[in-house]
Amino acid sequence: MKVLLGISGASGAVYGVRTGAMLLARGVDLSVVVTATGWDILAAEVGDGKLPASLPARRRWLGKAMSAGRPARLYADDDFRIPFASGSNPPDAVIVAPCSMGTLGRIAHGIASSTLTRCADVALKERKPLVLVPRETPLSPIHLENMLALARAGADILPACPGFYNHPATVRELVDFVVSRVLARVGIDADLHPKWGKTQEEPSP
């Protein structure tokens, strides 16, 4: 399975890192595109505020952040030569986690001005799964209308809204709730938390 993971410039970079880690752990052929602002937020929220300058060094840094035994392919957000930028070679799925409102708006209106937005555009037109994880609040009418347009076009809008019925005790458990839902949309059972019903007491006879 070939998946393109986009990490865009919204708070919640850990969602992208954890999603990538779970995809790699399950043997997925993973490619990653990080936007310029996405790198800044990765540095602030996942790193120590600094990132390597070169793409190969960032690839190694990201692989370490994902605790991956094997690294993902990392592409620049202005590299339109990557395979998934063409409908003749689409990925099996595209995930954008987190998805900024700017990225979401450009995808909703077909503005394929970057590698990430072009690959998302390809996923839509080739009827491949496109999972967007917006992390924004509150939502304006423009945000909501863009999400509705994308849902009607076939995208999965999966906000970063963790559930609490499993009584999460750590931030990782909250993150994993969302990541498990993301992976389920592309056909992967991550088994990161108990499913509804398994956490409930059996009714008395």
Tell me phi and psi for residue 61, to 5 degrees: -60, -45
- In the predicted model, what is the mean pLDDT of residues 27-46? 95
Within a domain: residue 51?
A: yes
Domain count across the chain:
1
- In the predicted model, what is the mean pLDDT of residues 3-14? 97
Per the structure, the complete domain to which residue 42 belongs is given by 2-185
User: pLDDT band at 59, cuts 50/70/90?
Assistant: confident
pLDDT at 69 over 70: no
Q: What is the pLDDT of residue 204?
A: 46
Higher pLDDT, 164 or 199: 164
pTM attached to this predicted model = 0.92
Q: What is the pLDDT of residue 134?
A: 98
User: pLDDT band at 108, cuts 50/70/90?
Assistant: very high
- In the predicted model, what is the mean pLDDT of residues 5-15? 97
- In the predicted model, what is the mean pLDDT of residues 127-131? 98
β-strand partners of 95? 5, 131
Within a domain: residue 155?
A: yes
Looking up residue 66, the CATH number of its domain turns out to be 3.40.50.1950
Within a domain: residue 6?
A: yes
Within a domain: residue 196?
A: no
Q: CA torsion, points 35, 84, 110, 124, in degrees to nearest 10? A: -120
> Considering only CA atoms, which of 102, 115, 23 is closest in space to residue 63?
23
Residue type, position 201, single letter:
E
pLDDT tens-digit series, residues 109-121: 999 999 999 999 9
Q: CA torsion, points 42, 47, 52, 58, in degrees to nearest 10? A: -60
Within a domain: residue 181?
A: yes
- In the predicted model, what is the mean pLDDT of residues 167-196? 90
Task: Check: CB of residue 102 under 8 Å from CB of residue 89.
Answer: no
